[in-house]
Amino acid sequence: MQSLQQQTEAKIAEGRQKNPAFMQKIDEIIAQSKSFQQGKDAIKLGQNVPNFSLPNANGQTISLANLLHKGPVVVTFYRGSWCPYCNLQLRALQARLSDINALGAQLVAISPQIPDGSMTQDEISNMDFEVLSDQDAKVAVQFGVAWQVPAFLSEHMRVDRKLDLNAINNGNGAILPIPATFVVDRDGVVVWRFVDVDYRTRSEPNDIINALKALS
């Protein structure tokens, strides 16, 4: 079975074949973002995370504080169901969810999409973890992982992919989360994290599981 990194690398290679000019521009934007250290304000190891209450796909409000009463929580931010890299990540996490739960932890995935648009009903029924809606990426801002979408990328979304992020998110489509994952212990402290402004790079489920094992 391919690792998540291998899957994303294959997706990147596919993109380079289909649209090399666009992917080159993405490489330049990512390099610039890294040079400006975007994501440097993300919550650090040993720091407490802010509590949040967000609606899930069924409109129920889910509180981080309530989840932490039951055990550690894995909090992962993703851009939306329209992002192929995000879908690879969510499927990879779903495949290892039993291992995460066996270690007493719960998983929540957060995107700016509105509750009734973040995933299809079929997708929701196949996910055994909470998918939460962070309208206007407010919680992403609190975690220090909000990212201003470059104008050329917004234009690509709107023109080439027919995606109106303002409508999809029912708010500010120019702010998206940096795909980031935090392992939070029962005291609300970050014990492991993965933050990379390159949205094509994601944390491996194995690394998350190893972080949870270290807690126990």
Tokens read off for 156:
């690509």
Cα–Cα distance for residue pair 214/117, rounded to 1 Å: 36
Q: Give pLDDT, residue 153.
A: 72
Neighbouring C-beta atoms of residue 37, cutoff 10 Å: 9
Neighbouring C-beta atoms of residue 126, cutoff 10 Å: 12
pLDDT tens, 51-106? 999 999 888 999 999 999 999 999 999 998 888 889 899 999 999 999 999 999 99
Q: Give pLDDT, residue 32.
A: 59
82, 161 contact by CB (below 8 A): yes
pLDDT above 70 for 33: no
pLDDT tens, 107-133? 999 999 886 544 555 565 567 899 999
Per DSSP, the residues of 133-150 read E-GGGHHHHHTT-EEEPP
Q: Where are the beta strands (DSSP E) in 93-187?
A: 106-111, 130-133, 146-148, 175-177, 180-184
Q: Please, which contacts does 20-24 make with residues 24 or more away whose CB atoms are closer than 8 Å?
A: 22/156
Whether the model clears a pTM of 0.75, i.e. scores above it, the answer is yes
Distances, alpha carbon 156 to alpha carbons 13, 15, 91, 159, 180, in Å: 19, 14, 25, 5, 23
Q: Which domains, from first to last, does the chain contain?
A: 4-215 (3.40.30.10)
Tokens read off for 66:
């309530």
pLDDT tens, 127-165? 789 999 998 899 999 999 998 877 777 776 777 778 788
Pairing relation of β-strands 175-177 and 73-77? Answer: unpaired
Three-state secondary-structure class, residue 192? strand
Q: Give pLDDT, residue 38.
A: 52
Tokens read off for 134:
């962070």
Give the CA angle between residues 153, 158, 160 to the nearest 5°: 85
Cα–Cα distance for residue pair 47/83, rounded to 1 Å: 29
